[in-house]
């Protein structure tokens, strides 16, 4: 399950040599991400059908977030993105076994520390669920959610150890320019969870979702999620083994490379931790609206779909290349690559964000099944529209953060994120206090959009000092204007068809999306935009 792609040099003009290799890798990751996100969408549909936008769904989603938050707070920064430049340097100098040994040392230390953290978290499970359900106003409902969440945490918290193994294996694979395993791994997780949700639905035998579950039903929910994470973790581990590298946990705290890596990892962990703190705050605030946590989780899944298909493959394949360019003393080439990467994202993501935001309600009507009723679909659609405003900012912040890491700067992204997240948290709390009802969920997405966009813009001065100027082309404004007009066209078509039936919703979604896409491409054609090359050569990125 691996595919290797070399990291070719660039020219002095910023035109990447070997761009076809990068384009093939990007296209391959895009296809695999499509498979992953398609099964992820089915997972969302299955969860919505089985759990609904209900207190049960809120409890499951909130408890399931805890393992992700703990990992990102404590080890994600060191064991994921921040490791790639170090591994790239070792691999490019022919020291592959040394890279694997270093990965094993880091993994060994992380597993020991994380095991202690998981044990402590299990002892504090009741307090953790108390925090996550603090926004629930009904004390009886809050107590029931808390009790079920504590049970689920006994299955969800050990996932932290699996995330650690998968992260180090993925970092080593990316350093080897092998991207397939990490891209396809979530498919296995999704399939397991879909099966678990199907089994839960059958066990309920048509009964509406409630917090009053028997032991078997609880076990299906808890064990199903953890078995899915285990399956996802095994994929990169097996793929790494097939490259003749073996990742074995080691205990060697005297390795001289640990201290600088730990310092970098601490800053990177701070950055990821801030993201997770904001996510936790969002869960608490969303809990003020019945079904709000489910609406947030489902909406964020839809939000991530265009990012995963259109932007993440570019960031993933560029990152080792950026690290190699900086290590070779060619930082200006990294700046050129980041610049055309941002132009590519602007051209593709701006229309995607507008069209999905405009067509969110028909989309939800098409996929609505089981216990996701009309009111729940309205909640999810409203939340999705808010999040879509920040799609480009989200993608840009990831690319610019990776560029900073490639340049050896893990500090700036954290400091920028600290300011943006702090302001965003205040806006989140104040906004949801001022507004009532479902409008609170719109604030979630709009605040997130402000945070990620501010983070991206705030990183530009720091990158200028490290690699040179990252050019933001004026074409971004043109892309935004054309995307807005395309959104108007899509809305007009969808509104004329309506969503009174599922067939009508399919027509609204399909014809509205097609009309908007044609309008966007047509406007660029009239403007003779160079960006249309990305459509004529889908395996390549813009330059």
Tens place of pLDDT for every residue, the chain, 543 residues? 334 333 334 444 334 444 445 556 667 777 777 788 788 878 888 888 888 778 888 889 888 888 877 776 665 555 666 677 878 888 888 888 888 888 898 889 889 989 999 999 999 999 988 888 877 778 888 889 999 999 999 999 999 999 989 988 988 888 888 888 888 899 999 999 999 999 999 998 878 888 888 999 999 999 999 999 999 999 999 999 888 788 888 888 777 777 777 777 777 777 877 887 888 788 888 877 777 777 888 888 889 888 988 888 888 888 888 888 888 888 888 898 898 889 889 999 999 999 999 999 998 888 775 556 677 778 888 889 999 999 999 999 999 999 998 888 888 999 999 999 999 989 988 887 887 777 788 888 899 999 999 999 999 999 999 898 887 767 889 999 999 999 999 999 999 998 888 899 999 999 999 999 999 999 999 988 877 765 555 444 444
Task: Please calculate the CA angle 399-20-517 and round it to the nearest 5 degrees.
Answer: 65
Determine the Cα–Cα distance for residues 96 and 462; give it in Å rounded to an integer.
31
Structural domain for 125, as ranges:
1-6+34-265
pLDDT confidence of residue 55: 82
- The answer to whether the CB of 318 falls within 8 A of the CB of 463 is no
Q: Which of 121, 124, 135, 120 is nearest to 59 (CA)?
A: 135
CA distance 116 to 139: 32
Q: CB atoms < 10 A from the CB of 150, how many?
A: 17
Q: Flag whether 455 is in a domain.
A: no
Rounded Cα distance between 233 and 503, Å, is 39
Instruction: Evaluate whether residue 42 is within a structural domain.
Output: yes
Q: Rounded CA gap, 334 and 467, in Å?
A: 7
Asked whether residue 197 is assigned to any structural domain, the reply reads yes
Asked whether residue 410 is assigned to any structural domain, the reply reads no
Question: Cα(9)–Cα(29) distance, rounded to whole angstroms?
Answer: 21
Residue at token pair 């609904």: 52
How many structural domains is the chain composed of?
1
On whether residue 449 sits in a domain, the answer given is no
- For residues 217 and 205, the answer to whether their CB atoms sit within 8 Å is no
* Residue 540, both tokens: 């390549």
Q: How far apart are CA 175 and CA 171, in angstroms?
A: 6
Q: Please give the pLDDT value at position 254.
A: 78
Q: What is the pLDDT of residue 394?
A: 95
Are 196 and 225 in contact by the 8 Å Cβ rule? The answer is: yes
Cα(340)–Cα(260) distance, integer angstroms:
31
Q: What are 10's strand-pairing partners? A: 16
DSSP reduced 3-state for 13: coil
Give me the helices (H) in 288-330, please: 292-306, 312-327
Q: Say if 328 falls within a structural domain.
A: no
How far is Cα 424 from Cα 428, in angstroms, rounded to an integer? 6
Residue 104 lies in a domain: yes
The answer to the question of residue 415 being in a domain is no
Q: How many residues does the chain have?
A: 543
Contact in structure between 391 and 360 (CB atoms under 8 Å) = no
CA distance 454 to 445: 14
CB 512 within 8 A of CB 362: yes
Q: Which of 526, 368, 350 is nearest to 449 (CA)?
A: 350
Q: What residue ranges in 100-242 does DSSP mark as E strands?
A: none
Tell me the longest C-alpha to C-alpha distance in the chain: 69
CA distance 84 to 78: 10
- Please tell me the pTM assigned to this model: 0.72
Cα–Cα–Cα angle for 240, 241, 245, rounded to 5 degrees: 80
**Coil/strand/helix, residue 418:** helix
């Amino acid at each position: 399950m691996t595919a290797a792609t070399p990291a070719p040099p660039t020219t002095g003009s910023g035109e990447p040599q070997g761009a076809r290799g990068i384009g093939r890798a990007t296209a391959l990751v895009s296809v695999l991400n499509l498979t992953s996100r398609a099964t992820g969408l089915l997972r969302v549909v299955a969860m919505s059908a089985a759990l609904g936008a209900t207190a049960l769904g809120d409890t499951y989603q909130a408890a399931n977030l805890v393992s992700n938050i703990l990992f990102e707070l404590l080890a994600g920064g060191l064991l994921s993105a921040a490791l790639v430049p170090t591994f790239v340097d070792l691999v490019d100098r022919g020291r592959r076994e040394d890279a694997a040994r270093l990965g094993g040392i880091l993994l060994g230390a992380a597993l020991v520390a994380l095991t202690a953290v998981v044990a402590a978290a299990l002892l504090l499970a009741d307090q953790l669920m108390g925090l996550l359900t603090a926004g629930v106003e009904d004390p009886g409902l809050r107590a029931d959610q808390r009790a079920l969440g504590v049970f689920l945490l006994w299955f969800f918290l050990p996932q932290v150890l699996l995330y650690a193994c998968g992260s180090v294996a993925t970092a080593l694979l990316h350093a080897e320019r092998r991207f397939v395993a990490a891209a396809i791994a979530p498919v296995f997780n999704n399939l397991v969870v879909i099966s678990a949700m199907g089994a839960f639905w059958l066990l309920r035998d048509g009964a509406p979702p409630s917090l009053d579950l028997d032991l078997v039903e609880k076990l299906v929910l808890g064990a199903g999620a953890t078995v899915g994470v285990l399956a996802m973790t095994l994929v990169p581990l097996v793929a790494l083994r097939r490259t003749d590298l073996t990742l074995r946990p080691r205990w060697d705290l005297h390795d001289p490379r640990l201290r600088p890596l730990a310092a970098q990892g601490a800053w990177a962990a701070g950055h990821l931790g801030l993201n997770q703190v904001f996510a936790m705050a969002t869960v608490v605030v969303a809990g003020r609206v019945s079904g709000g946590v489910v609406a947030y989780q489902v909406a964020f899944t839809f939000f991530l779909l265009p990012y995963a298909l259109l932007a993440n493959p570019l960031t993933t394949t560029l990152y080792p290349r950026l690290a190699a360019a900086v290590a070779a003393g060619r930082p200006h080439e990294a700046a050129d690559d980041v610049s055309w990467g941002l132009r590519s994202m602007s051209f593709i993501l701006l229309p995607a964000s507008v069209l999905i935001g405009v067509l969110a309600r028909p989309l939800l009507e098409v996929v609505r099944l089981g216990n996701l009723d009309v009111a729940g679909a309205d909640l999810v659609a409203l939340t999705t529209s808010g999040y879509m405003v920040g799609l480009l900012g989200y993608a840009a912040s990831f690319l610019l953060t990776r560029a900073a890491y490639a340049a050896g700067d893990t500090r700036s992204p954290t400091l920028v994120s600290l300011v943006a997240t702090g302001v965003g948290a205040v806006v989140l709390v104040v906004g949801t206090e001022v507004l009532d009802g479902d409008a609170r969920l719109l604030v979630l997405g709009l605040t997130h959009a402000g945070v990620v966009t501010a983070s991206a813009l705030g990183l530009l001065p720091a990158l200028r000092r490290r690699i040179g100027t990252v050019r933001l082309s004026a074409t971004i404004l043109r892309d935004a204007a054309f995307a807005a007009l395309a959104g108007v066209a899509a809305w007009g078509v969808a509104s004329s068809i309506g969503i009174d039936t599922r067939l009508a919703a399919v027509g609204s979604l399909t014809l509205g999306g097609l009309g908007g896409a044609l309008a966007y491409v047509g406007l660029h054609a009239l403007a003779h935009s160079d960006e249309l090359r990305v459509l004529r050569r889908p395996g390549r990125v813009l330059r």
